[in-house]
Amino acid sequence: MKLNALHTLEVVIREGSYAAAAPVVNLTASAIGLQMRQLEAYFGRPLFDRSARHVRPTDFARQVAAAVTETLNRVDSLRLQDHIAVEGHVRVGIIESAMISVLPKAIRRLRAFAPGIEAQITRGVSQFLLQEVKAGRLDLAILVRPERGGSSRMHWLPLYSEGFVLVSPPDSRGNSAEALLRQHEWIRFDRGATGGRIAAAYVESVVPGKRPILELPGTDAIIACVADGLGVSVIPTPRPELARAYPFRQISLDRARARRDIVLVCRRADSENRRIQAVQRAFSEALH
């Protein structure tokens, strides 16, 4: 019997169903069902009443979950005692936008409560960073979650989401993304980046068949070109410093159609590592 199966049982009872628990434990509902059957085989008695349309936990299952919760809380209280120093080297990958907007505050928080941790930072696009984490060359990464959600074999911690905007030259006319895309040339945001693919999908949905005149890997360079009148572009919402540095217009886009979710990801086997948890805490606190 694995401890994570007991944790899954506790989450299923708390959330009310396999489907509701699935995103919390980053497993599919069928994988949760398999874990529950394994637990039932271990205990030799049913944990769920499956006679109705929706499975319901038995009284015994609730007793097991309560014992698990109490035990895990006691273990965590020992593991997280303040006098136990967290030290060591952590390899962190991060996308460029988060490196500028979030990293400084996160490192300041990390230095405040875990000064013994040395963070080695690697910059890259999301797809590259995710592969580096999977291969074990990075311990964790801050990146854009893949459009299809990402592998359940990884541990995903949501951090924040970013909307997209259409940026256009300062003297441009038009109050809609469609009008501006039809009137001006399109500068494409890097197709190798998840955000670039999200932006391109939006452009295709608004003006099918629109072809770019230029493709650039960074939003700073894109805004410089837009401000110079070369065209328009769809990019993640730019940081305020760029609006002060360059003259351009921006129109916010529907977040339901153009949004990217920034997450912290590590290998599931490493999710309980104290150094990685310290970095998770630092980024979470930096955003609040």
| Structural domains for the chain | 3-79 (1.10.10.10), 88-160+261-286 (3.40.190.10), 162-260 (3.40.190.10)
Q: What is the pTM of this model?
A: 0.69
- pLDDT mean values, one per 10 residues, the chain (288 residues): 82 88 85 91 90 85 88 71 76 94 96 94 94 96 87 89 96 94 97 92 96 94 97 95 93 92 93 92 92
User: What pLDDT is recorded for position 54?
Assistant: 77
Specify the 3-state DSSP secondary structure of 188: strand
Q: How many CB atoms lie within 10 A of CB 16?
A: 12
Do residues 277 and 115 lie in contact, with contact meaning Cβ atoms separated by under 8 Å? no
User: What pLDDT is recorded for position 1?
Assistant: 60
Do residues 178 and 189 lie in contact, with contact meaning Cβ atoms separated by under 8 Å? no
User: What pLDDT is recorded for position 74?
Assistant: 77
E strand intervals along the chain: 48-49, 56-57, 88-94, 117-123, 140-144, 154-168, 186-189, 212-216, 233-236, 249-252, 259-267
